[in-house]
A and B are shown apart, each in its own frame.
Chain A
Amino acid sequence: MSISLSAGAVPGPRKDPEVAAALGRRRKRVDIIIRSLCVGATLVGLAFLASILITLTYRGFEAMNLRVFTQVTAPPGSEGGLLNAIVGSLIQASLGTLIGTPIGMLVGTYLAEYARGSKFGDLVRFVSDILLSAPSILIGLFVYQILVLPFGGFSGWAGVVALAVIVIPVVVRTTEDMLTLIPNTLREAVIGLGSPKWKMIVFICWKSALSGIITGILLAIARVAGETAPLLFTSLGNNAWSIDLTKPMASLPITIYSMAGSPFEDWIALAWAGALLITLGVLSLNVLARTLLRGRK
């Protein structure tokens, strides 16, 4: 028994070409299976994107016509469009970006130029990162508490402020990232010429990081253009034409939300048209931002 064991082809530490080959084949097989699964996972991810885009294109273009851009929202069956929603979204997103961007840039600058390695800077960075990923619906609830309740009603301004709060951390992140990429020798050269620090930051650092900062702003616009949850409690939505920021204001996402949830065929079709518009806008802003960044590298 023991003789046959020691003489037989028992897998063990001894070199046995056949066993080694079998093991090698097995390892290669496992490798190939896992590689294929990973390719499969990537394909699945891409398939989701394709499915979303195809659905949007198909159902969006079906419902797309001039009325979408020239008429305001109307009751079901009466040939309305999305004009008030589109204009409302443009106003709120651009004002929100206008308010949020300078604050975000200053915070990003503070983190990169003044607070590197300081405890307080770490705290600000941490809080900004939390705000970046915090549920946007909570920002809506917060603005409802501070601007809607005390000032007697939903308003475009409340929506603008909610969006601005969302813009800030996005801009902080990219501004800081881009400023830290600038070599310190450049800063030293500018200071060496006798420039005050603020001039160095504004005219040299910001200028060198410009395309990166613009990327951040574009991404921020793309982010707020599609935000729905925070607007539910702030600018509420409005089915009539209104560009008065002290009154409830329509926006594309809110209009899509209420129309897509309705039982009316023509409203659902309009919702798809709006969905196509918003996705095209957001995705092209994203692609544009990436192209800008790549040109920089």
Chain B
Amino acid sequence: MSQAATAATPVPAAARSGGNLGDTIFEWACRGSGILVLALLGAIIVELFIAGLPAFRAFGLPFLWSTEWDPVQEVFGAGVSIYGTIVTAVLAILFAVPLAFGVAFYLTELAPAWLRGPVGTAIELLAAVPSIIYGMWGFFVIAPAFAAHLQPWIIDNFGALPLIGFLFQGAPFGTGIFTAAFILAIMILPFIAATMRDVFLQVPPVYKESSYGLGATTWEVMKGVVLPYTRVSVVGGIMLGLGRALGETMAVTFVIGNANRITTSLFGPGNTIASLVALEFGESETGSLKLASLLALGFILFVLSFIVLATSRYLLRSRLKA
């Protein structure tokens, strides 16, 4: 009986079993790749930690805030570069958020329909320009312009102010923390603007229309309806920008001035974790304490960006589900 059945329908039976086998193989190929991605992130964390271990062992917890970086004495500390990383990233956010909000507001509410596509694409292209190009542009165009015009003006007008004046003193080199933050701001602008635009577009039109119906102006609708509705996601977008700014390497390396000291002036030189690693790596011998310190810095940077990016993703979860 069963023999007759198999004989009568040999092809479907074969196809079915082949299908089952194919299904199993394909599903496991997919799942295996997923596991590979998990393993990849795990391996990055573990490898960086192991590689940085000699430095953590040698310097202990003070490695995090020690400002020493002396290759001759073999004494290394992460203080300056952690400070530089955080200050440049936070300053970049301060510069970028108002601009990004303006762009997103313009693209969702103000621009005529035919302009939205092209302008939106142009802003997004800012995100596609490679980091090294920003570095060259910043170094050869922005830094000289800042040194000649903007920084002398700011130093003259704000340098003498009480309380905040010290932020704007010193010589106008052009390069430095301020310029690095400025370039970073332009680089993260498209990420923040794109997130803001996307979440602004998710506000149900009925809410906005009822507000307009009450006689609200465009800005009042933005302030009273759109922003409260999208607040959490907007913060998520800002955190995404912060995460990007923390780890940016090449552009910062070009314009930050690369000095291992903490200056109170925003125009002073500094460094970030990423720029320090990029610059010093080539001069470190395999197995040296310096190399271990650089890899330990990499581990710290990873932890920093992981926290920021994970927060960003948590805040944006409602947008991701939609």
Contact = CB atoms under 8 A, between A and B. Distances in A.
Interface of A: 27-28, 30-31, 34-35, 37-42, 44-46, 48-49, 51-52, 55-56, 59, 103-104, 106-107, 109-111, 113-115, 120-121, 123-124, 126-131, 133-139, 141-142, 145-146, 149, 165, 168-169, 172, 194-199, 201-202, 222, 225-229, 232-233, 253, 256-257, 260-261, 271-272, 275, 278-279, 282-283, 286-287, 290
The CB with the most chain A CB atoms within 10 A, among B33, B36, B286, B306, is that of: B33
A84 to B, nearest CB: 18
Contact of B34 (A124, A133, A138, A275): A124
B103 interface: yes
B38 interface: yes
Nearest to A111: B34
Contact of B130 (A106, A146, A282): A282
A93 B22 CA distance: 32
Given A46-B119, A134-B302, A35 B250 contact: no
Contacts of A196: 16, 18-20, 22-23
A237 B193 CA distance: 35
Nearest to A169: B37
Contact of A106 (B33, B219, B306): B33
A233 to B, nearest CB: 6
A42 B295 contact: no
Given A136-B247, A145-B51, A226 B133 contact: yes
B31 interface: yes
B220 A31 contact: yes
B34 A42 contact: no
Contacts of A59: 140
Contacts of A41: 98-103, 106
Contacts of B16: 196
Nearest to A148: B286
Interface in B279-319: 281-282, 286, 294-295, 298, 301-302, 305-306, 309-310, 313
Contacts of A138: 44, 48, 247, 298, 301-302, 305
A226 to B, nearest CB: 3
Given A39-B102, A135-B248, 4 more contacts: A127-B40, A145-B48, A257-B135, A286-B125
Contact of B31 (A46, A114, A225, A290): A114
Interface stretch (B74-82, B150-158, B202-210, B238-246): B238-246
A82 B18 CA distance: 52
Given A46-B119, A51-B141, A229-B278, A38 B34 contact: no
A145 B277 CA distance: 14
Interface in B1-57: 12, 16, 18-20, 22-23, 25-27, 29-38, 40-41, 43-44, 47-48, 50-51
A130 B41 contact: yes
8 contacts: A38-B101, A45-B122, A104-B33, A114-B30, A124-B38, A222-B128, A232-B282, A260-B135
A149 B281 CA distance: 13
A136 B23 contact: no
B180 interface: no
Given A110-B31, A130-B313, A135-B248, A40 B102 contact: yes
B219 A31 contact: yes
Nearest to A226: B130
Given A130-B306, A141-B298, A165 B40 contact: yes
Contacts of B225: none
Contacts of A114: 27, 30-31
A282 B310 CA distance: 28
A28 B259 CA distance: 50
B132 A233 contact: no
Given A49-B122, A146-B43, A283 B129 contact: yes
B94 interface: no
B149 to A, nearest CB: 15
Scoring A48, A114, A146, A225 by chain B CB atoms within 10 A of each residue's CB, the highest score goes to A48
A125 to B, nearest CB: 8
B249 A228 contact: yes
A168 B34 CA distance: 11
B20 A42 contact: no
Nearest to B107: A42
B130 A227 contact: yes
B44 A142 contact: yes
B121 interface: yes
A197 B23 contact: yes
B263 interface: no
